[in-house]
Amino acid sequence: MTDLPDPAQPAFILVRPQMGENIGAAARAMLNFGLRRMRLVDPRDGWPNPKAVAMASGAAGQVLDFAGVYEDVAGAVADCDFTFATTARGRELPKPIYTPEAAMVEARQRILEGQKVGILFGPERTGLENDDITRANAIITVPVNPEFFSLNLAQAVLLTAYEYSRHTLEATPRDPGLAGHDPASAIEVEKLGDHFEERLEEAGFFHPPEKAPMMKRNLRNMWSRFGMTRSEVQTLHGALRQILRKRD
């Protein structure tokens, strides 16, 4: 029987993958470097997928056996303390931008500190959408030929898995500088965003209506970029509740 994937590894999250063959190829790329934590968000052709199994070719099938399937990105990153989004775009969203090498050094350091790290990979044809990227804390962009910057899904997974594996033995524990406070998880930040949106909706902040989606996206991006602690999230919830009590 295959052991469960090591929780002290980053989760490779394939967002709306379109072809089973590409999922299988990504599984092979991950197992090449000893990584087995795969998550799938709304795979186009459903799950399980026989084409993915065929492409995984034997041992890499174990990556697929334990792959988690989620309806949306928010659910897939809910337990993550820090999430990267791989994209050649997204620079209009103010977030730290890493090379794969620097990102995987950061990922390894965070995992050594006991954090859970996720890495988002977009669908083959379009890549990640801005709404996906707002769920991430930082961006990974590969420094490739600007005249031909497209990487297929398995290539992006392979490159990232290689960089993580390469630095596995090089990283050393460090103090995250949070003075003993735990970082807020993605679901805690998500709920804070929901709370703010609810109150701002009541106040008529999202006006005119046609600009509301962009305004909400910018707010979500801001929350994920801050890197808040749990106590800071609780403080902001309390501040909102107090403002509402004073108003009423």
Q: Tell me, what CATH number does 120's domain have? A: 3.40.1280.10
Judgement on whether residues 135 and 222 belong to the same structural domain of the protein: no
Check whether 11 has a pLDDT greater than 90: yes
Q: Give dist(CA 125, CA 107) in Å, integer.
A: 27
3-state secondary structure of 58: helix
Judgement on whether residues 88 and 210 belong to the same structural domain of the protein: no
Specify the number of domains making up the chain: 2
- Rama region for 57: left / alpha / beta (φ>0; ψ in -120 to 50; rest): left
Judgement on whether residues 68 and 114 belong to the same structural domain of the protein: yes
Tell me the pLDDT tens digit for each residue of 144-167: 777 776 788 999 999 999 999 987
Check whether 6 has a pLDDT greater than 80: no
Judgement on whether residues 43 and 136 belong to the same structural domain of the protein: yes
Check whether 169 has a pLDDT greater than 60: no
Judgement on whether residues 192 and 161 belong to the same structural domain of the protein: no
Confidence band, pLDDT 50/70/90 cuts, at residue 1? very low
- Burial tier of 60 (Cβ tally within 10 Å: 0-12, 13-18, 19+): buried
- The reported pLDDT for the residue numbered 179 is 55
Degrees to nearest 5, angle at CA 77 with 159 and 223: 105
Q: Measuring CA to CA, which residue among 202, 181, 182, 194 is closest to residue 223? A: 194
Q: Give dist(CA 83, CA 186) in Å, integer.
A: 8
Residue 175 within a domain: no
Domain span at residue 58 reads 11-166
Residue 173 within a domain: no
Domain boundary among 101, 132, 166: 166
Residue 139, token pair as written in the block: 């961006």
Assessment of whether the complete model's pTM goes beyond 0.85: no
Tell me the pLDDT tens digit for each residue of 45-58: 888 888 999 998 77
Judgement on whether residues 93 and 15 belong to the same structural domain of the protein: yes
Judgement on whether residues 235 and 143 belong to the same structural domain of the protein: no
Judgement on whether residues 21 and 83 belong to the same structural domain of the protein: yes
Judgement on whether residues 137 and 195 belong to the same structural domain of the protein: no
Q: Give dist(CA 209, CA 211) in Å, integer.
A: 5
For residue 30, CA distances in Å to 95, 121, 204 come to 26, 13, 47
- The reported pLDDT for the residue numbered 5 is 64
Q: Give dist(CA 9, CA 37) in Å, integer.
A: 7
Residue 92 within a domain: yes
Judgement on whether residues 35 and 150 belong to the same structural domain of the protein: yes
206 against 176, higher pLDDT: 206
Identify the weakest region by mean pLDDT among 52-56, 119-123, 141-145. Answer: 141-145
Residue 179 within a domain: no
Q: Measuring CA to CA, which residue among 46, 42, 14, 48 is closest to residue 30? A: 14
